[in-house]
C-alpha cells in the first residue's frame, strides 16, 4: 500500500479549524448533550476535508480530516481551559482583597 500524496496549504488549517469550531459552537443552540460535540467536530472535519479541501483524493481527505477535527477540538479545549483559569484567578484575587468589594 502506498501512502497518499497530500497537497495542502496553510490556508486549509487557518480556515478549516476555526470554521469547525464556529459551526460546532452553533450546534450548542440545539439541545444536544455536551459529550457529542467532539463527535460533531470530527464529522465536520472529515466532511470539510473530504468534500472540499481534498475532494479528488479520498484517503488524503480522511487523513487531513482527522487533523482538522483534532485541531478544532484541541483549540476549543485549550481556550476553554485558559478562560476558566483566568476567571478563577480573578475571582480568587478579589476574594483575597476585601478592600476591593463595594459595600
Is there a domain that residue 99 lies in? no
Is there a domain that residue 3 lies in? no
Task: Evaluate whether 45 touches 69 at the Cβ level (below 8 Å).
Answer: yes
How many domains does the chain fold into?
1
Is there a domain that residue 60 lies in? yes
Is there a domain that residue 1 lies in? no
98 CB-near residues (< 8 Å, 6+ apart): none
Rounded CA gap, 15 and 22, in Å?
11
Rounded CA gap, 80 and 86, in Å?
10
Q: What is the pLDDT along the chain (103 residues), one digit of tens a residue?
A: 777 676 666 777 789 999 999 999 999 999 999 999 999 999 999 999 999 888 888 988 898 899 999 999 999 999 999 999 999 988 888 887 766 555 4
Is there a domain that residue 22 lies in? yes
pTM for the structure as a whole: 0.76
Is there a domain that residue 100 lies in? no
Residues of the domain holding 44? 11-92
Amino acid at each position: 500500500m502506498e501512502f497518499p500524496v497530500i497537497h495542502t496549504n496553510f490556508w486549509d488549517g487557518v480556515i478549516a479549524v476555526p470554521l469547525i469550531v464556529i459551526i460546532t459552537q452553533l450546534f450548542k443552540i440545539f439541545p444536544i448533550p455536551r459529550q457529542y460535540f467532539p463527535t460533531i467536530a470530527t464529522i465536520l472535519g472529515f466532511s470539510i476535508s473530504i468534500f472540499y479541501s481534498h475532494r479528488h483524493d479520498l484517503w488524503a481527505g480522511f487523513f487531513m480530516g482527522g487533523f482538522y477535527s483534532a485541531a478544532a477540538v484541541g483549540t476549543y479545549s485549550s481556550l476553554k481551559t485558559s478562560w476558566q483559569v483566568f476567571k478563577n484567578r480573578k475571582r480568587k484575587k478579589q476574594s483575597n482583597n476585601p478592600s476591593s468589594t463595594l459595600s
